[in-house]
Structure 1
Amino acid sequence: MPSEFQLIQQFFQREQAENPAAGVVLGIGDDCALLQIPAGQQLAVSVDTLVAGVHFPKDADPELIAERALRTNLSDLAAMGADPLWFTLALTMPQADEDWLRGFSRGLFRCAREYGIALVGGDTTSGPLAITIQVMGACQPQHSLRRDGANVGDFVLVTHFVGDGAAALAAIQQEYSFADEHRAYLHDRFYRPVPRLQESQFIRELASSALDISDGLAADLQHICTASDVGAVIYVEDLPLSPAVQSLLEQSSANQQQIYQWALSGGDDYELCFTLAPEKMPELAMLIAQGKLSATVVGEITAGNAVSCELNGELFALPKRGYQHF
């Protein structure tokens, strides 16, 4: 049975030794990593834990587990307008399975190379399968995206599509029938969500507030409202839905309520939700027209302190506001 240090050396340390990253004075192998933050920038740090049977199926492909774990964490950097730099990994697993670790490390470093982020430390221990990743990025102080900047009259927008995360879980659990192409798309959206780092670069000089949609649009927009001391209304009929999700409407109009529930409170979309002052809309519209950004207006910021939803001018009740961790 290989030791902890042999596992780290074989599956994690070697990759970083062969591909040294900028700003890493001392990486994996010591008690701490020594990192040099880019001059004049602030460090953005976030950490999340994914647990088998809660955040991904226990029997999922380890390559895909790794990709999902890192990609969902990178989404937090996008939400702050930060550029990825480094990450740490704490890996808890029932046993030292070298085949599993080989696949996991392959998926992890494939994703890390794609987004230019370097592993600089971590830990391995025995127990139920869980992955904790801490990401670090750099942002310009004047362009960091926060939750507390929304103002009454701002538009509320989302990137790309909402509802795919919950639809993907339903597809994986075979609760609904999807065409093969739509099932493949949703499978990819679940295991390989795209952290909207490129979109973040465009909106960080325009948006008044932002976050990523992990617990559901309504619940996450409420975080912006609470931090900014404002309210918001979401226009349900304007929610952007992917062709995969829309295909369920073609099967039966009875699916509409479920689809809207997914889009508003399903979570796991990892799209950006952001607010924008009306005078900034022409700049955003130009980015959309140039094909540099996909974003849709789905509501507006109002007076008050709560998020409400309307469908064609009528109040739309949400039985569930968003994902609950406990």
Structure 2
Amino acid sequence: MGEFDLIERYFKRPARQAVLGVGDDCAILQPAPGTQLAISCDMLVEGRHFFPSVDPRALGHKALAVNLSDLAACGARPLAFTLALALPRADDAWLAPFSQGLLALADAHGCELVGGDTTQGPLNICITVFGEVPVLDGRSQALLRSGAQPGDDLYVSGTLGDAGLALEVLRGAVSVPAPVLDAARLRLESPAPRVALGLALRGIATAAIDVSDGLLGDLGHILKQSGVGATVDVDVAIKLIAARAYYSGAGGRFDTEPGRNQWLAWALAGGDDYELLFTAPASAREAVAAAGRTSQTPVTRIGHIDPARGLRLVDGQGQAVANTYTSFDHFA
């Protein structure tokens, strides 16, 4: 199978929203009047971002999901994406499920594939995604990292730490009962981009980011760009690890196996959660709750924004907790 046969068979589809899609030198997009384009790019490299044994259907899903998560954090509606794909060989048994997982998620979010590139080489997947953000009265409605204000509440969507737990188990560093791994692995390999929540938070959230490298590390980007500090309740954060329920049901003791500090590390610094971390005024609590209901996404208040810079961790009684947690950095 040649390069162009591969594109024709697995990735070429009729243009829908795009003026011109796959099959020409450039794609042509026409943003709606009164909107801005939001653009993000992510790369997944075999051995760095995923195991060689990963299900290709799940990998196709995740490759697009991590990009849609960036659009969600910006409050952007997905529009289109490009795919640059390096493959060791053109393998039908791999390409068929990969493209199915990729395009099923694309269809679910109305985000069409409009172009890209293919080449032979070590497995590498690079997606650039395009979204739309409205402009009202000359002002962009995009959610940014720079708008957090002292007194704002700090929220996170969904669950935390399960993907980090799964990664450690698959690396052989930790052993947990099979039901725990099954629940956590789904979060690692098939994250759910919180696009609907991002759209619902426009005009409510003051700042937002998606949690890809760990909650505390990504929170640090908001604090730096907003010029503020934050206090996080670790007892609330640790309860957001969904695998805890499976672990208890399997007979494990949460406080001792693998240990509270390890569970905290997954909740606060584990990567690949792809949840939304955002801030909103305390006066907007009902609006935030309504956004969660509208988008069918759980949201949890885990702390607040402080005028004094720096990150402070406390327990449920307000006692200080040492911050010894380091989030993921490719070059650290």
TM-score relative to the length of structure 1 = 0.92
Q: CA deviation at 1:100?
A: 1.3
Map of 1:36-115 to 2, 5 A cutoff?
A: 36-115=30-109
SS at match of 1:307: strand
- From 319, 323, 326, the equivalent of 1:321 is 326
* Deviates most, 169-178 or 28-37: 169-178
Q: Which residue of 2 aligns with 1:200?
A: 198
SS at match of 2:11: helix
Q: Within 1, Cα distance between the matches of 2:177 and 2:142? A: 39
SS at match of 1:140: strand
* Deviates most, 191-200 or 238-247: 238-247
SS at match of 1:35: coil
Task: Check conservation: 1:261, 1:318, Cα contact below 8 A.
Answer: no
- Read off the aligned partner of 1:84 and give its amino acid letter: P
Q: CA deviation at 1:187?
A: 2.1
- Read off the aligned partner of 2:5 and give its amino acid letter: Q
Cα offsets for 1:166-193 (capped at 9, x unmatched): 122234345231343x433222211111
* Deviates most, 152-161 or 90-99: 90-99
- From 104, 112, 120, the equivalent of 2:114 is 120
Does residue 257 (structure 1) correspond to residue 256 (structure 2)? The answer is: no
Cα offsets for 1:68-87 (capped at 9, x unmatched): 11111110000000011100
Does residue 35 (structure 1) correspond to residue 29 (structure 2)? The answer is: yes
Map of 1:226-241 to 2, 5 A cutoff?
A: 226-239=224-237, 240-241=239-240
Q: Within 1, Cα distance between the matches of 2:133 and 2:163? A: 28
Distance 1:63-1:293 versus aligned 2 partners, 3 A rule: closer
Q: CA deviation at 1:257?
A: 0.7
Task: Check conservation: 2:40, 2:70, Cα contact below 8 A.
Answer: yes
Report the number of matched residues. Answer: 319
Q: Which residue of 1 aligns with 2:165?
A: 167
Q: Which residue of 1 aligns with 2:151?
A: 153
- Read off the aligned partner of 1:7 and give its amino acid letter: L
Q: CA deviation at 1:320?
A: 3.1
Distance 1:292-1:59 versus aligned 2 partners, 3 A rule: closer
SS at match of 2:5: helix
- Read off the aligned partner of 1:325 and give its amino acid letter: H
Q: Within 2, Cα distance between the matches of 1:56 and 1:161? A: 21
- From 288, 299, 316, the equivalent of 1:284 is 288
Q: Within 1, Cα distance between the matches of 2:193 and 2:263? A: 23
Q: Which residue of 1 aligns with 2:2?
A: 3
Gapped regions of structure 2 (runs ≥ 5): none
Q: Within 2, Cα distance between the matches of 1:171 and 1:31? A: 44
* Deviates most, 102-111 or 271-280: 102-111
Cα offsets for 1:188-221 (capped at 9, x unmatched): 2111111001111221221110011001111111
Q: Which residue of 2 aligns with 1:136?
A: 130
Task: Check conservation: 1:233, 1:310, Cα contact below 8 A.
Answer: yes
Distance 1:253-1:88 versus aligned 2 partners, 3 A rule: same
- From 180, 183, 197, the equivalent of 2:181 is 183
Q: Within 1, Cα distance between the matches of 2:161 and 2:277? A: 13
Q: Within 2, Cα distance between the matches of 1:272 and 1:184? A: 23
SS at match of 1:122: strand
Q: CA deviation at 1:290?
A: 7.6
Q: Within 2, Cα distance between the matches of 1:190 and 1:293? A: 18
Give structure 1 regions of 4+ aligned residues with deviation exceeding 4 angstroms. 246-250, 286-293
Q: Within 1, Cα distance between the matches of 2:213 and 2:94? A: 29
Q: Within 1, Cα distance between the matches of 2:24 and 2:302? A: 48
Distance 1:272-1:208 versus aligned 2 partners, 3 A rule: same
Distance 1:285-1:100 versus aligned 2 partners, 3 A rule: closer
SS at match of 2:19: strand
- Read off the aligned partner of 1:72 and give its amino acid letter: V
Identical pairs, percent? 40
Distance 1:237-1:208 versus aligned 2 partners, 3 A rule: same
Task: Check conservation: 1:171, 1:186, Cα contact below 8 A.
Answer: no
Q: Which residue of 2 aligns with 1:272?
A: 276
Q: Within 2, Cα distance between the matches of 1:268 and 1:152? A: 28
Q: CA deviation at 1:282?
A: 2.8
Task: Check conservation: 1:171, 1:177, Cα contact below 8 A.
Answer: yes
